[in-house]
Amino acid sequence: MIKKRPKTIGILGGMGPEATARFFELLIKNTAATKDQEHLKIVVYCYPQIPDRTRAILYGGQDPIPFLLEGLKVLEKAGAELVAIPCMTAHHFLPALKKKTRLKIINLIAETAKWLRASKPEIKRVGLLATEGTIATRIFQKLLAREHIQVLTPKDHIQKKVMEAIYGKKGIKAGFTKRKARHLLLEAASELLSQGAEAIIAGCTEIPLSLTQKDLPVPLIDPMVIGARAVIEKAGGKVR
């Protein structure tokens, strides 16, 4: 039997750069390898100039699709065969992107929904910490509903605190992952728990940079980890 050649993974990143670096690291750490040569080929394109996704969705900001397509073309020319985009809000644009690229784009949110049903069947209600743009698109709600899981979101005044934790002057995108950002996210998580959340989904790639499982009394579901493991498997690698 001829062994299939593993596929080259592409990461379309920069949304933000630190989350991109973490996703690359997760691919490495979750690959079952005992030496360099057993790891997968990975091409990373960090493109921070991609316009803000939430601003485009909610406030008529610059369309990120042309920039995302430009990034996909760079990855394709570099030899990537399947791609992950470590930005949850950007997943709203996947249907448009898939129509204009030959690359296989892995939906990290869909992989998370499938993993939850298979691995945590007892969980029926999850709290979602994400950007306003992600919540407005209802992409998590739609995909998790297929698995019969209810998604709870923060009240408006609490959601503003989540956005401050991510985008504020002392927020995660500005390089401040602890103190105020962590406190604001814990406040939001607490509000979701009071609504009956049985787990918290880190629905923005920046959130796990500040919030960890040790901070919560319920499971913290990280689409970055779940997605990285799914990407490794789909590329033909061995998952640790």
Report DSSP letters for 120-137, one per residue.
-TT--EEEEE--HHHHHH
Q: Tens of pLDDT along 180-209? A: 999 999 999 999 999 999 999 999 999 999
Q: What is the reported pTM?
A: 0.93
What's the pLDDT score for residue 3? 64
Tell me which of 15, 19, 27, 87 is the catalytic residue.
87
pLDDT at 2 over 70: no
- Tell me, yes or no, whether 125 and 100 share the same domain: no
- Tell me if 3 is assigned to some domain: no
The domain in which residue 178 lies consists of 109-223
Tell me which of 188, 204, 207, 230 is the catalytic residue.
204
Q: Tens of pLDDT along 141-190? A: 999 999 999 999 999 999 999 999 999 999 999 999 989 999 999 999 99
Burial (CB count within 10 angstroms: exposed 0-12, middle 13-18, buried 19+), residue 147: middle
Catalytic, 46? Answer no
Type of residue numbered 31: T
CATH number at residue 93: 3.40.50.1860
Catalytic, 204? Answer yes
Q: Tens of pLDDT along 98-117? A: 999 999 999 999 999 999 99
180-194 vs 156-167: helix axis angle to the nearest 10? 150
Domains in the chain, number: 2
- Tell me if 1 is assigned to some domain: no
Among residues 223, 165, 173, 170, the alpha carbon closest in space to that of 189 is found at 165
- Tell me, yes or no, whether 102 and 115 share the same domain: no
